[in-house]
Amino acid sequence: MANFTSTYDGATDAYFCDINVTDITGPFFILIFILSVIGNSLLLCVLFIYENLKNVTNIFILNLVCSDLIFTITLPFWAVDHLHHWVFEGFVCKFVTAAFFVGLYSSVILLTAMTVDRFITVVLHKLKINHAKRKKYAICSCVAAWVISISASLRDAMKVKVIEWDGFNYCEDESDENLGRYLQVSLLFFLPFAIIIFCYSAILKTVLQGLNRKKFRTVAVLLCIVAAFFIF
C-alpha cells in the first residue's frame, strides 16, 4: 500500500511516496515458499525415480535440494512476522533462525563444492581421478558443508530472541557485534563466490577451446544453478 503526500513550496511540487515494504515482503515469502516446495519436491521425485543417486553430480544436487527445503520451511514464519508480528515462542525464534542460516550457508558451500568438482573433471582431467574417489570426495564435501553450516548457524541462533516493542513481539538480533558478522559473511559468501568465479572462468575457457564438449551440458546446468542462486 502506498500513501502519497503532496506539498507546495513556492513554485515547486514535491511528491513523496511512502511504500510499506512489509506489505510486499510477507506475500512474497509465501509465494517463494509455495514455488520452492513444488519445485524441489518434483526434483526429488526425478532424482529418486529416474536418476542414478550414485552419480557425483546427483549427490550434490540431492543435498542442495535438502538445503533449499530447510531454508524454505522458515519462510512462512518470517511471513507471519512481517505481516503481523512474532506470535511464536522464543525457542521457535532461535530454531527458525538456525534453520534459515543452515539452508543459506549449506547451499553456498554445496554450490562451491559442485563447482570445484566440475573444475577438476573438466580442467584437470589429466589427473584421471576414478569414480570411486570422486564419489568419496563428494560425500565428504557434503558432510563438511552440513557440519560447517550448522556450526555457523548456532552462533546466529544464540544471538536472537523475542523482543517486545510497542506492545508486539519480534524475533530480533540485539547484538551490536559487526566484525564477527562481516567475517562470517566474507568466509561463507564472498570467498565461495571468488572460488566459483575462478573455477567457471577456467571451465568455460577449456570448453570453448573444444575440449571435453560432452561435459558442456552438465557445465551449463550447474552454471545456471549457480547464477540463479547468486542473482536471487
Domain segments of the chain as ranges: 23-231
Q: What is the pLDDT of residue 81?
A: 87
For the stretch 26-48, what's the b/e string if a residue is b when 16 or more beta carbons lie within 10 angstroms of its beta carbon?
A: beebbeebeebeeebeebeeebe
Domain topology for 23-231: Rhopdopsin 7-helix transmembrane proteins (1.20.1070)
pLDDT tens-digit series, residues 73-128: 999 999 998 888 888 888 999 999 999 999 989 999 998 999 898 888 888 877 77
Residue type at position 180: G
Cβ proximity of 76 and 156 under 8 Å: no
What's this model's pTM, rounded to 2 decimal places? 0.78
Give the mean model confidence (pLDDT) for residues 205-209.
Answer: 75
Q: Count other C-beta atoms under 10 Å from residue 81's C-beta.
A: 23
Q: Which of 25, 2, 138, 140 is nearest to 79 (CA)?
A: 25
Q: All 3 cell numbers of residue 78?
A: 518470517
Handedness of CA 30, 35, 37, 38 (dihedral sign): positive
The length of the chain in residues reads 232
Sorting pLDDT into bands at 50, 70 and 90, what band is 225? low
More confident residue, 123 or 141: 141
Average pLDDT, the chain: 80
SS3 at position 123: coil
Measure the CA–CA gap between 112 and 197, rounded to whole angstroms.
10
pLDDT tens-digit series, residues 16-71: 344 455 568 888 999 999 999 999 999 999 988 888 778 888 999 999 999 999 99
